[in-house]
């Protein structure tokens, strides 16, 4: 399994560096320090590496997301913890962040079902938190949930994207609290 | 110029259908109804088509964005008008929307400077509107502008993305007002 993991990490590093389509099995093998043939012991082809990466990595991340929302008591604290963990995980693994962000915006069939499933899981967590806040009386009831999920998901994604494009130069996690404040209070002056 | 435009439209349609990397000049020529060689009268190569598309299309769109914020008097109305025009333009040209969304999330050098420039232009418009609102007293002063721009830009992008992934089945523009309400009021209950 150590070799499987090494190939997966090497592949994500190569994909992040030069994009999925321009990457070759030979480059991945070189990066992993294995023979080309070794890769085919674990993976059918390049596509399969990407699909297995999604399966492995995102399952791991989603367990952390679930954990993040299970501990705090209030909706606002749950949302804060979710966004913080989200930014933390992407900051911890910049290659994964690059590949994930690039691939989720591609319009092609490879891994599409997996990506849809994961996006749905993330949005389900947001729904649960928002609904809890509505029960608590801390979150507005006049919301269109489909839009709220996109509003939160999109803003977090864009904050991660900007961080990637900046070369990962600043501490991404410091954005969590100001971002959650924007989600909750908006940019408008609270008129009494 | 009619042929130039026809090739550009055909290329975007092919890129949207199967992705930039998998598209060939031969497919673009076929879609445009011209000989392969004709394409090289107007474009150096496939990369050049994408770059010229960005130059042509985004200049056009940014003029409309500028116009959208120049007419209304208040910051909130300007923001509403900007988001509405943004969704309108992407709804009007779904192929453009697909290519634009896929390419802006790629981590590669092709057209990167152009994309950065355009994103910056968009964010500058948002800054101006938000600063106007701060002067008016309608938008909070305790905001980190860099984050506000990503917050708005990201949410709009994600709403467009969801629309693309749904197959463009619903009226994207109806999302404009509820989205602006989220930007301004947030999801939290306004505590008196």
Q: Which CATH number fits the domain that encloses residue A181?
A: 1.10.357.10
**Interchain pair A189, B155: CB under 8 A:** no
Q: Are residues B85 and B180 in the same domain?
A: yes
**How close A62 gets to chain B, by Cα (Å)?**
20
Contact between A163 and B107 under an 8 Å Cβ cutoff? The reply is: no
pLDDT tens-place string over residues B122-164: 899 999 999 999 999 999 999 999 999 999 999 999 999 889 8
Nearest chain B alpha carbon to A95: B107
Q: Are residues A38 and A51 in the same domain?
A: no
Q: What is the pLDDT of residue B27?
A: 96
Residues A74 and A161 in one domain: yes
Regarding whether B177 and B134 lie in a shared domain, the answer is yes
Q: Given the structure tokens 């209950």, which residue do they identify?
A: B189
Residue B108 lies in a domain: yes
**A74 with A30, same domain?**
no
Half-sphere exposure of B132 (CA within 13 A, CB side): 16
Q: Stretch B90-109: mean pLDDT, rounded?
A: 79
**A22:B22 CB<8 A:** no
Asked whether the beta carbons of residue B185 and residue A140 sit closer than 8 angstroms, the reply is yes
Is-contact B158 A150, C-beta < 8 A? yes
Chain A residue with the nearest C-alpha to that of B164: A107
- Asked if the model's pLDDT at residue A176 lies above 90, the reply is yes
Best residue in A99, A144, A154, A177 for a mutation probing chain B (most B CBs within 10 Å): A154
Q: Which residue of B has its CA nearest to A176?
A: B147
In chain A, residues with a C-beta closer than 8 Å to the C-beta of B22 are 21
Chain A interface, best mutation among B19, B187, B189, B191, by max A CB count within 10 A: B187
- Measure Cα distances from B49 to A19, A34, B26, B53 in Å: 19, 39, 13, 6
Confidence (pLDDT) at A105: 65
Q: Which residues of A122-148 are buried (b: 16+ CB within 10 A; e: fewer)?
A: bbebbeebbebbbeeebbbeebeeebb
> Contact, A25 vs A35, CB < 8 A?
no
**CA dihedral for B76, A161, A18, A102, sign (positive or negative):** negative
- pLDDT band of residue B91 (cuts 50, 70, 90) is very high
For residues B144-181, b (16+ Cβ closer than 10 Å) or e, as one string? eeebbbbbbbbbbbbbbbbbbbeeeeeebbebbebbbb
- Which positions in chain A touch B154 (Cβ < 8 Å)? 154-159, 161
Give A178's contacts in chain B (Cβ within 8 Å).
144, 147
A4 shares its domain with A75: no
Q: Domain tally for chain B?
A: 2
- Min Cα distance B55 → chain A (Å) is 21
Residue B22 lies in a domain: yes
Same domain, yes or no: A38 and A50: no
Q: Give me the domain span that covers residue B105.
A: 47-185
State pLDDT tens for residues A104-145: 666 555 666 777 777 788 899 999 999 999 999 999 999 999
Angle formed at CA A86 by CA A84 and CA A87, multiple of 5 degrees: 70
Closest CA to B78 of B127, B120, B119, B118: B127
Reported ipTM: the value is: 0.86
* A150-166: pLDDT as tens digits: 999 999 999 998 898 88
In terms of phi and psi (left: phi > 0; alpha: psi -120 to 50; beta: otherwise), the region of A106 is beta
Q: Is residue A190 part of a domain?
A: no
Are B33 and B65 members of one domain? no
Q: What is the CATH classification number for the domain harbouring B33?
A: 1.10.10.60
Residue of B nearest to A161 (CA): B105
Q: Which residue of B147, B157, B179 is in closest CB contact with A179?
A: B147
Q: Residues A92, A68: one domain?
A: yes
Say if residue A133 is in the same domain as residue A159. yes
Q: Which residue is listed with tokens 């602006």? A: B180
Quick check: is A191 in a domain? no
A:B CB pairs within 8 Å: 151
Q: Are residues B63 and B127 in the same domain?
A: yes
Q: Are residues A74 and A113 in the same domain?
A: yes
Q: Cα angle vertex A111, ends A160, A116, to 5°?
A: 65
A53-62, A171-180, B82-91 — which is least confidently predicted? A53-62
């Amino acid at each position: 399994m150590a070799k499987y993991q090494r190939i997966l990490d090497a592949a994500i590093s190569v994909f992040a560096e030069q994009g999925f389509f321009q990457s070759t099995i030979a480059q991945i093998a070189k990066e992993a320090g294995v023979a080309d043939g070794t890769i085919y012991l674990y993976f059918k082809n390049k596509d399969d590496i990407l699909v297995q990466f999604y399966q492995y990595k995102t399952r791991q991340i989603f367990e952390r997301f679930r954990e993040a929302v299970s501990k705090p008591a209030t909706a606002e604290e749950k949302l804060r913890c979710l966004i913080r963990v989200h930014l933390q995980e992407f900051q911890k693994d910049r290659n994964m962040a690059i590949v994930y962000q690039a691939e989720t915006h591609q319009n092609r069939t490879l891994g599409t079902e997996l990506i849809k499933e994961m996006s749905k899981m993330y949005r389900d967590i947001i729904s649960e938190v928002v609904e809890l806040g509505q029960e608590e009386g801390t979150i507005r009831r006049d919301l269109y949930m489909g839009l709220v999920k996109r509003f939160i998901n999109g803003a977090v994604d864009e904050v991660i994207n900007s961080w990637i494009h900046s070369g990962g130069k600043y501490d991404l996690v410091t954005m969590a609290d100001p971002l959650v404040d924007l989600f909750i209070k908006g940019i408008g002056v609270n008129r009494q």
